[in-house]
Amino acid sequence: MKLTIFTDEPALPEVRLIAGEARRRGIEAKILAPWDVSLPPTRELESDVYYIGSNILNRVSPLELLHRLQILRVFDEMGVVVNPVEGILNYSKGHLTLKLRSLGLPHPETLITENVEMAYRFAAHLLDSGRNVVLKPLCRGRGVGVVMLDRIRSRRDLLQFLTWYNRVHGQGVFYLQEYIPNRGYDIRCFVIDGEVIGREKRSNPGDFRYNVSLGARAEAFQESIYDELAMEVAGAVGLKIAGIDILPGLDGRAYVLEANCYPGFTALIKATGTPIHERIVDYLRSLRR
Ligand SMILES: Nc1ncnc2c1ncn2[C@@H]1O[C@H](COP(=O)(O)OP(=O)(O)OP(=O)(O)O)[C@@H](O)[C@H]1O
Ligand SMILES: [Mg+2]
């Protein structure tokens, strides 16, 4: 079997773990970066399975994005792509919000817009009703650019802030969300092919963002109470390998915050002892056409 790990971060520990595990099992595993590829494809690009190991679409120029999407479509003709191309293409917080809404699953009140006046009105409405507001980039990850508005400002100040935010983090699109008062932790469920294979509880007394990359502590979470929700969400957004983040609110509801298309798992391995990379290779091997 041939496995290609397609990534613009070849040095990611997750990439190395999966490649190493695959090779240990006699799978021919190759790490390929977008800049190693030329189209039309040659036989050298042929593989049974293509694992997309990092966010190759959302941190590049629009033309690079189109080119990389073309590469994914070529891979899709030649073998099986994981995550599925449609899932990768749809991956954004905005898509998740609309999916959760159509399924009636709990999600904080959210607005997605390019319009600064609409963003202002939404933020002002939440702040006026005593709630805080979280602003996030549509597609970034690791808590980068996730900020909280927690005090009422004058219209001028708030508009000024939103304009600054848009320039520095938003890249033209506002994703605004009501802040959910919570129990001080969130739960990451790691889903592979419709099953939860690991869970961690993340907390950070020093930050409202419970991202491990920002210093949050991760520990194993033994209960399966959120598994069904996580599996439903992963299926709804078309992801075979996904990290589903669930925030238990003080109101007793479990809010879905994120369906991550490229979930890291080194902290999860450390917290649970579950060899996630081995489970991923099990799954990739099962896909051979
Ligand atoms: N609406 C919210 N209410 C309360 N806390 C929130 C809210 N949104 C985000 N947070 C906190 O901020 C953290 C980061 O937010 P989020 O997971 O949405 O973005 P991200 O981690 O940057 O993206 P990704 O999960 O794709 O890596 C969450 O783990 C959570 O702790
Ligand atoms: Mg997150």
Q: At 147, which CATH number?
A: 3.30.1490.20
CATH of the domain at 269: 3.30.470.20
Q: Is residue 232 part of a domain?
A: yes
- Domain membership of residue 98 (yes or no) is no
Of 178, 195, 221, the residue that ends a domain is 178
CATH of the domain at 67: 3.40.50.20
Q: Tokens standing for 145?
A: 């650019």
167 and 219 together in one domain: no
Domain total in the chain: 3
Residue to mutate (ligand 1; options 57, 183, 256, 258; most atoms within 8 A of CB): 258
Distance 217 CA to ligand 1 centre (A): 15
The pLDDT value recorded for residue 59 is: 87
Report if residue 166 sits inside a domain: yes
Given 90, 120, 139, which residue is the final one in a domain? 90
Atom of ligand 1 nearest to the CA of 180: 3
Write the burial class of residue 76 (CB in 10 Å: 0-12 exposed, 13-18 middle, 19+ buried): middle
Which among 97, 183, 177 has a CA at the least distance from the CA of 132? 177
Is 244 part of any domain? yes
- What is the number of the ligand closest to the CA of 249? 1
Same domain for 161 and 82: no
Q: Ligand 1: does its nearest atom lie under 6 Å from the Cβ of 188?
A: no
Please report the atom of ligand 1 found closest to the CA of residue 108.
1
Last residue of a domain, one of 60, 90, 120: 90
Task: Spell out the residues 6+ positions from residue 187 whose beta carbon is closer than 8 angstroms to its own.
Answer: 199, 200, 201, 202, 221, 226, 245, 246, 247, 248
Q: Is the CB of 169 under 6 A from ligand 1?
A: no
Beta bridge partners of 190: 198, 243
Asked whether residue 159 is domain-assigned, the answer is yes
pLDDT of residue 204: 96
Answer yes or no: do 61 and 85 share one domain.
Answer: yes
Q: Which residues contact 87 (CB under 8 A, 6 or more apart)?
A: 237, 238, 239, 240, 261
pLDDT at 107: 97
210 lines ligand 1 (CB under 6 A): yes
Atom of ligand 1 nearest to the CA of 204: 31
Q: Which domain holds residue 242?
A: 182-274
Task: State phi, psi for 211 to the nearest 5 degrees.
Answer: -90, 135
Structure tokens belonging to residue 138: 């549509």
**Both tokens assigned to 257:** 């915050």
β-strands 241-248, 254-260: how paired? antiparallel
Residue nearest to atom 15 of ligand 1 (CA): 143
Residues 223 and 257 in one domain: yes
What pLDDT does residue 82 have? 98
Residue 288 domain-assigned (yes or no): no
Pairing of β 2-6 and β 49-52: parallel
* pLDDT, position 142: 85
Q: Could you read off the pLDDT tens digit of each residue along the chain, which spans 289 residues?
A: 999 999 999 999 999 999 999 999 999 999 999 999 999 999 999 999 999 999 999 889 999 999 999 999 999 999 999 999 999 999 999 999 999 999 999 999 999 999 999 999 999 999 999 999 999 998 887 889 999 999 888 999 999 999 999 999 988 999 999 999 999 999 999 999 999 999 999 999 999 999 998 999 999 999 999 999 999 999 999 999 999 999 999 999 999 999 999 999 999 999 999 999 999 999 999 997 6
- Judge contact between 84 and 52, C-beta under 8 A: no
The residue whose CA has the least distance to atom 11 of ligand 1 is 209
Pocket flag, ligand 1, residue 245 (CB < 6 Å): yes
pLDDT value at position 260? 96
The whole-number pLDDT of residue 15 equals 98
